[in-house]
A and B are shown apart, each in its own frame.
Chain A
């Protein structure tokens, strides 16, 4: 049960480190690589604070072994926006629409929103709400998060046209 060398590709960057097989991806991201944008809210896959994209699909990084994330494209919140002035349209909409309160669920919410909009650029309100089934928020009542995703969809859709 010794450590195993793993190679992870995170936000396009190569990382190589030795981990024990029981280490989850969120632990490696936060503790080993100091990518603390991905949050831990439950560690049982119920709250979605740790949501990241694995090969473009949203998953709970608390339920993913780091060792199994090898060879896959890992996208975390740090890989979504470039800087404070170059936010992704989803991030920008979250700011402007008041979708952020305490902010602890926010990175996971944004990853789930991206998972949705990448597949379904013009979702209905119900589709958005269903797409957030795995992300709990205790502050906002979700209303402004849903609105932000609608606004982002609008903006991204028009931009793409």
Chain B
């Protein structure tokens, strides 16, 4: 079906974009890469009267360190840039991996990281890595800005805490401490170029004694939104890594997964794969944290 018509607004600054957002509210949609929005509009799942394109806003495709030493990613930073960016490759391996296997080359050249997140799809490739990397979003609103940790951002399928009058300014990735590692694991049962049937990300930080001080695990495609698994994380923290420990965490992940059956995979399969992928993600994270890769 053809995309229904709309008014296209082309702000040149984020501030201007916010003003448009405030005045048009729920009648408006923000368009960054457009790859999700246009499909939704063509399928009549979304009918914005105003599309606010960020295309003409200058200098918002940045990936740079902010004053606090954390990585800030602008709303127009494309997945194809993220995947190869040296700082992301070296400090946020789960994200460089996930962005590199999101959709196809062409879509990665068009899509933005923030767009992939804002859609709040449970199967978004980059959601679980960003959850375990403890990313947060800086949201602009009429009264100013607020920073929302990603694990508080998602509410449900296609639903987030962002209001129709708001706008994402940037994403912040806290710099992981030393002896940290992260990993993204995805199963596409049908093709190497496929939406994840299940995906799991893990993040580990170890202290010098080799004890896990921080553990984060996130699951995708197994609930209405991408989720963290605090029960499994707690089991890991304060322990020395071992395969038995990882198995225990993986079993807890499996328990927390509440997937549905659809044409991509059945609920049973998804649950079983959560366990498999959790172990794989933890093992891969550990390898990086203990510097056994690279």
By a beta-carbon cutoff of 8 Å, the part of chain A in contact with chain B is 1, 4, 20-22, 24, 43-46, 48, 51, 54, 57-60, 63-65, 67-68, 112, 115, 130-135
Contacts and interface: CB of A to CB of B under 8 A. Distances in A.
A134 B39 contact: no
B161 to A, nearest CB: 27
Contact of B110 (A24, A60, A67, A133): A60
A65 B56 CA distance: 13
B8 A57 contact: no
A58 B7 contact: no
Given A63-B34, A65-B34, 13 more contacts: A1-B5, A20-B5, A21-B5, A21-B8, A22-B4, A24-B3, A43-B42, A45-B39, A58-B105, A59-B106, A60-B107, A115-B105, A133-B192
B138 interface: no
A22 B38 CA distance: 9
B51 interface: yes
Size bracket, chain B contacts: 20 to 34
7 contacts: A21-B7, A44-B39, A44-B42, A64-B34, A65-B38, A67-B10, A130-B105
Given A1-B5, A68-B55, A48 B106 contact: yes
B35 A45 contact: yes
Interface string B6-46: 11101000000000000000000001001100110110000
A-B pairs with lowest CB-CB distance, top 7? A134-B104, A21-B8, A134-B106, A22-B3, A22-B5, A57-B109, A133-B193
B50 to A, nearest CB: 10
B80 interface: yes
A63 B5 contact: no
Interface string B121-136: 0000000000000000
A134 B3 contact: no
Most chain A beta carbons < 10 A, residue from B3, B42, B51: B3
Contacts of A48: 104, 106
A60 B106 contact: yes
Contact of A68 (B3, B34, B41, B106): B34
A57 B110 CA distance: 9
B88 interface: no
B106 A1 contact: no
Contacts of B192: 133
